Structure 1
Amino acid sequence: MTVVLGASPAASSGPEHVTVPVAYDAILLASFGGPEGQDDVIPFLRNVTRGRGIPDERLEEVAHHYRAFGGISPINAQNRMLKAALETELADRGIDLPVLWGNRNWDPYLREALTEAHDRGFSQLIAIATSAYSSYSSCRQYREDYAIALEETGLAGEITIDKVRQFFDHPGFVQPFIDGLRAALADIRERFEGIDLASEVEVLFTTHSIPSADAERSGPSFRGFGPEGAYAAQHRAVAEVVMLAATSGVGETDVPWQLVFQSRSGPPSQPWLEPDINDAIAELPAKGVRAVVIVPLGFVSDHMEVMWDLDNEALESCAENGLYGVRTPTPGVDPAYVSGLIDLVLERVNGTPTEERASVTDIGPWYDVCRPGCCENVRLGFKPALAGIAP
């Protein structure tokens, strides 16, 4: 009995890890999307908030972030670069898999990518979403949008879409954060001669805040991750790996760190994950901290939440509190990250056994096929979603 909508035959019965080789026709690179001009900003934000009845005057409160950059989100340019980097990596490895690109909220849309796939004769796609962790907005919503795009194009039954596993602890994703933190700590040691990293420096691993109810339901319930779910557990596990790797061998393994959150957008009455990064920064001077390293652990590229919320607001908070602040790079098109994404595709192409899959935490490797009820949105309920067992 088929339990996974729109899946390849190998994934249709819902195994945790698909260890049967699959001959995919193409890779579907799926991202959030962003405006590319001032006239695009409000229509884009309407897309992002569709179904929530938010008036344009409230959307304009967020729009000024984009307007400060000429109405252009950096995310589309970054995805063009990522697409080109993936194509180069595939060519260098002699792998014949075209890369199609579609967004959830702006042109090019997912439905356009699926239409292109159909026109080019591709029927079996493997999807990479530009989001590494488990939650409604970072995984299940992508899977719902795959299902919507198939229905909109009338291609349900003609095109199958599997997805690579959430890659939060794949070494290709993690290594750029290790390199960035190691470089930032070296910069601080050079800049502040004699500084005690164990008492005068703090590392803030930051990620997008989400509603607490969504966090609790992130990942499958049987894993028992606690009230903040798989979303927070995955981030903390990766942060521990990054800290250990970036500080070992230089006598700095006791540098303090914490997981913080940013970019919340819900009403004050709705609980979201805390602490907010700016609140956390404000508390550091009283602890004797002189320098802060901000590691954007939840983000794959320098999109608006990084460039505005971190490079603008968080670093401004550092300055206001008399702290030296530095933000480390996101993976972007780092060779390790690009190579790692292709490795994830090849896991499915080759049907790699679970025990041979790369993972740097005890939590992973994550599931190829999302488990039943994974990452429920309590406000919206369950909708049809690909690449996972219903609901």
Structure 2
Amino acid sequence: MKPVIALCDANSFYCSCERVFDPTLIGRPLGVLSNNDGCIVARTPELKALGVAMGTPAFKVRDWLEQGVIDLRSSNYALYGDMSSRFMTVLEQFSPKVEVYSIDEAFVDLAGFPADQLQGIGADIKQRVQQWTGLPIGVGISTTKTLAKLANYAAKHYPATGGVVDLTDPVRQQRLMDITPVQEVWGVGNRIAKRLEQQGIRTAGALSRCKPAWIRKTFSIVLERTVCELQGESCIPWEEETTGNKHQIICSRSFGQAVTAFDDLHAALVSFASRACEKLRTQGKFAREAMILIRTDPFRDAPQYNANLSLSLPEPTCDTRRWLQLIRPGLEKIYREGFGYRKAGFMLVDLCDGAGFQADLWSAQVLPEMPAMMQVVDAINRRYGKRTLKPAAAGLTERPWHMARKLLSPRYTTCWEDVMKVGAGR
């Protein structure tokens, strides 16, 4: 059966989430800021029209904000994460095979549906996501992931499509590729695009007509795979079809202000490790290797100090407590007094699941276990909100390492105190 893949991508996802619960933002130039309200990381078309580029520092548009020309919001990760989960749940209504690619986009397997129904199915997906979550999305449908990405590009850039493009027909594929700049192809960045243009390859269509062997020899096997995908050959497997432990989980953050005290830095790492292990359990995986890192501010004219340290256990685990026992002695090894630290992180590596587990020769453990206490902690936090239960070492009060988020909107969907209240009019 020939593959048919839909890529569903939310439009300006962070901004759209803010607009769902604050209709006064609809039609307004809106931007969402990065950690510590530093730079603009999401923009509505209205903000783009004002010439505000991605990554613009917030201070450069402060006058417009004070004058009411634009609106800005701090990153509300609790809201965005929950809205993403709702988005993906809607997609699962249409197919049992949904691969989440990022927080705001996913591939959906539509193989088996009649070809003449694909456009309608795409429209149904778009309409249901809009109705059930309030999020506007684009839907691109084709026979490979790269072509589905291209179809989604067309759905979002050409209003006449209505936000849905069926690109399963080879003639339509070639027509679109011939008018699409090569840098818009999935996997082709600006650097590679410049090299391609030096070879006279300026459009996706020109790239699709290249010989894969020549691309591999001149560029890379990765770009060769992209060319094959543009030619209709599916080369990028679904995530569950891949093998090996290639994934890592990292939780890191820039601090709202410089952190100098050891205990504050330790509390930050404990918090990050707790979150990383929670993600690990959600994936049903285990890890035996981890890394902690600390960084000073590279933008300050002051002495710099960056360090990291690997941590390891004799067997894989997803138990937060096991890693917390290693963090304090590990931090003691790399911490240096007299520096103002602006970033720290905790990364889990060498992930595995039960099927890929290989026990230590001298260990009595046959398979890695999901600790009962950790399951209880996760269940309570899912029901009553994140960090309802947390390690005491993470601290009970606001710490200097917490993010500065002065323009934070309420956590409408994950916190009882922030749930919107509706009253009868008089």
Same fold (TM over 0.5): no
Could you say which structure has the larger radius of gyration? Answer: 2
**TM-score band (shorter)?**
under 0.3
Q: Which has the higher contact order (CA 8 A, sep 6+)?
A: 1
TM-score when normalising by structure 2: 0.25
